[in-house]
């Protein structure tokens, strides 16, 4: 009887952890303004929108995008294999992690989508 209760408790605990995990990965990160990105957000995921104002391609296989929103700019680091076809003035939405490189904040892109504004 005691072993049966332990087994049921264990199964319910595992199901609960699984449900929490599903909720965690499906939480929608709210879009923030580029001007609101500060050192307090280091190593945290953010989602921004903006206009591509510069694209730099590097032989090492990565891209740096400069994205502007309301006259504030941030650099987006795009790793090898994630290069997408973008042009200057494209409107994009970026999901990524805030990092600091050479005393400047930048975002390491996890996902980039072009916004279709028509």
Q: What's the pTM?
A: 0.74
State residue 67 phi and psi, 5-degree precision: -120, 135
Query: What pLDDT digit, counting tens, does each position of 50-90 carry?
Result: 999 999 988 888 899 999 999 999 999 998 776 578 889 99
3-state secondary structure 43-64: CCEEEEEEEEEEEEECCCCCEE
CATH number at 64 reads: 2.40.50.140
Q: Of 113 and 2, which is predicted with more confidence?
A: 113
Give the model's pLDDT for residue 118: 53
Query: What pLDDT digit, counting tens, does each position of 4-41 carry?
Result: 889 999 999 999 999 888 877 767 788 999 999 999 99
**Percent of all residues in the chain with a pLDDT value above 70, rounded to a whole number:** 95
What is the total count of domains within the chain? 1
Which domain does 62 fall in, by range?
34-114
Is the Cβ–Cβ distance between 75 and 66 less than 8 Å?
A: yes
């Amino acid at each position: 009887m005691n072993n049966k209760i332990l087994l049921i408790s264990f199964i319910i605990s595992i199901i609960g952890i699984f449900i929490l995990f599903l909720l965690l990965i499906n939480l929608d990160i709210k879009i923030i303004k580029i001007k609101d990105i500060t050192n307090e957000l280091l190593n945290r995921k953010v989602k921004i929108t903006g206009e591509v104002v510069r694209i730099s391609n590097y032989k090492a296989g990565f891209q740096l995008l400069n994205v502007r929103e309301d006259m504030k700019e941030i650099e987006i680091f795009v790793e090898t294999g994630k290069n997408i076809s973008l042009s200057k003035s494209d409107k994009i939405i970026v999901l990524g992690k805030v990092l600091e490189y050479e005393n400047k904040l930048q975002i390491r892109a996890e996902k980039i989508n072009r916004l279709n504004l028509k």
